[in-house]
Structure 1
C-alpha cells in the first residue's frame, strides 16, 4: 500500500495509529498521508480550466492522474491536484511570496515546517498551501480532570473552544461543584477558549422537574445566571453553553425567556452564550426531548447553537448507525430555515457501540472508541461493511461464548461525509461529543480539510 501511494509504511501506521499494521481488514478505511487536493469534476469543466483555477499546469495534473482522458472528463469523477511549488528568487521575502499567492507567511511556514522564515534562499522550493475553509471547532469532555487535560493537550491545537461537561444546576439556582482546573489550564495553554457548560440531567435522571423548578421561577433564573457568572469570573470561562434536555413542553416559553435574560446579562459582561439542542426536523416535532427546544428562538437569541446530531443508534435501542448522515442532513436543512448558517455547529460523536444481537429490550450496548472498534474487528477477523445511505461503517462478530454482536463506529469515510456536509452548508463549526475516545483519523482529516479558527490569540 505504501509503495502504491508513494509514501512510507511508518507514515501510514503513525497517522492511523494502526493497532496491527500487518493485519488489515477487508473494508477497513485507511488515511494516506497525501499532498494532493481532491477535486470533483463538474459539468462544463476542462482540464485547462481546472489547472487555471488551482494555479498548476495541465501537465502536472496529468502526471498526478495518469488514467484520465483530458479530452473526455467525466462529471462526478475525482481527480487529484498536485501541490503548488514556488522556486525562491534572489531578494524575495516570505511575505512577498505569501502576498503573491494570496496566502499568509504563517501558512507557508507551517506547510514547509520552517522554524525561521528569514532562512529562505534562492533556489529553495517552497510548497504553497491552498486556501481551506475556516471553521470553529468545539469539543466536550466528561472525563475526570486529569484525563480531560491529557485529551486537550493531545488535540487542543485543533480546538477553538473546549467545554468540560458539566456543571449541574441545583433547585436553589446554584451549581454543583466541578473539578475542572487542570482541563482549563490545558485549554488555555492550547489557546482553546473555555466554555462553561450547565446541564439539568444526569445518568440517572432526565432532570425535567429540576429544569421546571428553575425555569418557571424568576428569582431562581436570576440566581442561576449569577451562579454562572461567579464561576466564569473565578475560573476564566469566556462563554456559556446551556444544555437543558428533557425540558417539559409547557416550559418552552420559560426556557426562551431564560435565554433572553441570560444573553442580556452575559453580553453586557462581554461573554458569549450558546445552547445545545435536540436533533429536530421540524418545528412541529413533538416529544420530551424536542418540543421545548425552539430552534427559531435559540437561533435569534444566542450567539451559536450546537445541533446534537447523534444518538440515533442509542445505547439502549437496537443496533444502527449512531450518527447517520441522511438523518443529520434532514436536521441541518430544517435548522437552516430558522437559524443562520453562521450560528450553527454540527454535532459529531466520536465513539463506537457494540450491541449484542438479536437485540433484547432493556439490553445496553457497550460504548468505546473507534480505535477499539478496529482492534475488536481485527481480533475476530471481521469484514467491515459500509452503509452508503448512513455513511457509517459496521461489522459483526461472534465472541468466545457464541454470542453474536453488531458494532457501528466512525472512520475516515464517515468523518469526511460530515466535514463535507459542514462545508456544503457553510456552517460555523463542528462540535465533538466527546473527547476521551481516541480517533486519530478524524483529527488528521480535520486538519487537512479546514483552517481551524483560533480566537484566543
Structure 2
C-alpha cells in the first residue's frame, strides 16, 4: 500500500497515469468528492488489485466468490459500492483480491445510533465484527430506557454475520453523561441489581450478542467500586453466555495543547470483562482546546501504560472518524467545535486553495481558513496517513481490535486501510441474502 500526498500541480488524471490505476477506481476506493479540484496535501491510497474479474451473464456474487475461493463478504469489502446495488452488470470489473501483506486477524467494532442511514450501515457491516447500538440510557431507578426501536439494526447486523452489542450509559439525548446517576449506580447495590436484571432481560428479548457498558467518571477513589460492580455484572452476564466489554475515556485534560490521561489501575477491571475499549469519544459538541482528537503520540503513551498492566488481548483501541472545526480565538469552556466529515474538511481546503498541513507527532492533518464573515477557523481531521498510523497500532501492540466512533458516515479510506491491513474476524455465520445479486433478474 502507498499513501500518495497530493503535490502542487497534480490532478486525479496525472496520479492515475503515474500509478496505472483508472481514475474511476481511485475515486471509488478513496471516496474522493473533489476529483476535479484536489487539495494540496490531500491523501490518496494506492493499492494494486491482485485479481480482477469481469462480470459475465449468469454471474452472482455467490458464484463469483465460490469460483475464486473467497467469501461474498470479502467481495463486498473489496467493492463496497456493490452494497448499494440490487444487481451486477455484465462487463463491469470487480476486485477479487488486492495485493496486500495481511498477516493478522483482529476484531472490529462500530458505534451506530438507531437512526443510521441503512445504506451506510449495509456498506459498513462487512467490515465489522461487532455493531454497538447506541440506544439505551440507564436511569436512576435502575431501568434501561430505549431511545428508539433497534430491532431492524439487530437483524441487519446478524444478516451480515456481525454480533450486535447492547450499549448502556447514562448519556442523555444532549450527549451529556449524568454524574448523579453514575454515582448512584456505583454506591447502591440494589440499584445495580435492578440495572443488571433489566439489561439481562433486554439482551435476551432483543437477541443481542453481548453488552458494552460505558464506565464513566473513573477516579482513584472509586475504581474499587467500579471493579465490584463489574465483578457482579460479569458473573451474571457470562453465566448466561453473553460477552461483556466496557468503554472508558482515559483522556483527562484537553484544555491545554498538552493532552494527558489518568493512569488508573485498569487491571482491577480487566479480570471481569472480555475487553476494554480505550477511547476519547466526544458524545456531543466539544469545548476542548483545538487539537487532534487522541493524537498518536498520546495513544502510544496510553498503550505503553495499559499494556504493562493488563493483557494486550483485552485491549481495544478506539478511533474517531470525524473532523472538528473551531472558530478562533479559542475561549476555554466557551468555544465549541462543530463536527464535520473528513471529506468536508478536504473540500474546504480545496475550495479555499489552502494547502493541508500535517502534525507528525499527532499524525493528523489540519489547516486554518477564513469564513465568509472573515472569522478565522482551524480544522483538525483524519486522512489516510492518520488512519494508517492508528490502525497499525493494533498489530504493533498485538491488541484485540479496533472500535470506531462512529459509523454514521461511510469513511471509505478508513475502512479501505483496515481491510488491506487485517483479516476481519466474524463470530456469527452470515445469512446474507444479498449474496445472490444476479446480473439479470433477481434469482439465485
* Shared fold, TM over 0.5: yes
Q: Which bin holds the TM-score, normalised by the shorter protein?
A: 0.7 to 0.9
Closer, same or farther in 2 for the Cα pair 1:449/1:128, shift >3 Å? closer
Closer, same or farther in 2 for the Cα pair 1:355/1:17, shift >3 Å? same
1:442 is paired with a residue whose SS is helix
> What is the match of residue 171 of structure 1?
140
| Contact 2:171/2:178, CA 8 A, preserved across alignment | yes
Per the TM alignment, residue 127 of structure 1 is displaced from its structure 2 partner at its CA by 8.6
Quote the Cα distance in structure 2 between the aligned partners of 1:327 and 1:301.
26
Equivalences for 1:148-167 in 2 at 5 Å? Answer: 149-167=118-136
> What is the match of residue 45 of structure 1?
none
Selected match of 2:288 from 317, 329, 353: 317
Quote the Cα distance in structure 1 between the aligned partners of 2:220 and 2:30.
45
Deviations 1:107-145 (A, max 9, x none): 7995899xxxxxxxxxxx99997543100000011x3x2
Deviations 1:221-251 (A, max 9, x none): 1111110011101111111111021256543
> What is the match of residue 68 of structure 1?
none
Q: Which moved more, 1:219-228 or 1:357-366?
A: 357-366
| Contact 1:352/1:370, CA 8 A, preserved across alignment | yes
Closer, same or farther in 2 for the Cα pair 1:110/1:356, shift >3 Å? closer
Quote the Cα distance in structure 2 between the aligned partners of 1:84 and 1:178.
45
Closer, same or farther in 2 for the Cα pair 1:310/1:236, shift >3 Å? closer
1:390 corresponds to 2:371: no
Closer, same or farther in 2 for the Cα pair 1:106/1:226, shift >3 Å? same
Quote the Cα distance in structure 1 between the aligned partners of 2:250 and 2:378.
25
Quote the Cα distance in structure 2 between the aligned partners of 1:318 and 1:128.
41
> What is the match of residue 35 of structure 2?
21
Selected match of 1:192 from 157, 162, 180: 162
Quote the Cα distance in structure 1 between the aligned partners of 2:41 and 2:405.
25
Gaps of 5+ in 1: 36-82, 86-103, 114-124, 282-288
Per the TM alignment, residue 105 of structure 1 is displaced from its structure 2 partner at its CA by 4.2
1:394 is paired with a residue whose SS is strand
Cα RMSD between the aligned structures?
A: 2.9
Selected match of 1:106 from 70, 77, 83: 70
1:447 is paired with a residue whose SS is helix
Equivalences for 1:29-178 in 2 at 5 Å? Answer: 29-35=43-49, 105-106=69-70, 131-141=102-112, 143=113, 145-147=114-116, 149-178=118-147
Per the TM alignment, residue 293 of structure 1 is displaced from its structure 2 partner at its CA by 6.0
Deviations 1:283-334 (A, max 9, x none): xxxxxx97796411222211111011466x9820221111210001111111
Question: TM-score scaled by structure 1?
Answer: 0.75
| Contact 2:48/2:99, CA 8 A, preserved across alignment | no
Per the TM alignment, residue 172 of structure 1 is displaced from its structure 2 partner at its CA by 1.3
Quote the Cα distance in structure 2 between the aligned partners of 1:24 and 1:278.
36
Selected match of 1:329 from 300, 308, 314: 300
Closer, same or farther in 2 for the Cα pair 1:295/1:12, shift >3 Å? same
Selected match of 2:338 from 349, 355, 366: 366
Per the TM alignment, residue 278 of structure 1 is displaced from its structure 2 partner at its CA by 2.1
Closer, same or farther in 2 for the Cα pair 1:84/1:34, shift >3 Å? closer
Closer, same or farther in 2 for the Cα pair 1:418/1:126, shift >3 Å? closer
Quote the Cα distance in structure 2 between the aligned partners of 1:23 and 1:128.
29
1:153 is paired with a residue whose SS is helix
Closer, same or farther in 2 for the Cα pair 1:411/1:127, shift >3 Å? closer
2:43 is paired with a residue whose SS is coil
Gaps of 5+ in 2: 1-14, 53-67, 79-95, 253-259, 430-444
Per the TM alignment, residue 206 of structure 1 is displaced from its structure 2 partner at its CA by 3.3
| Contact 1:212/1:251, CA 8 A, preserved across alignment | no
1:213 corresponds to 2:213: no
| Contact 1:108/1:127, CA 8 A, preserved across alignment | no
Deviations 1:353-379 (A, max 9, x none): 001122123011110111111122222
Per the TM alignment, residue 187 of structure 1 is displaced from its structure 2 partner at its CA by 1.1
Deviations 1:154-192 (A, max 9, x none): 210010000011311011111112321222122111111
> What is the match of residue 436 of structure 2?
none
1:420 corresponds to 2:392: yes
Closer, same or farther in 2 for the Cα pair 1:329/1:248, shift >3 Å? closer
> What is the match of residue 11 of structure 2?
none
> What is the match of residue 84 of structure 2?
none
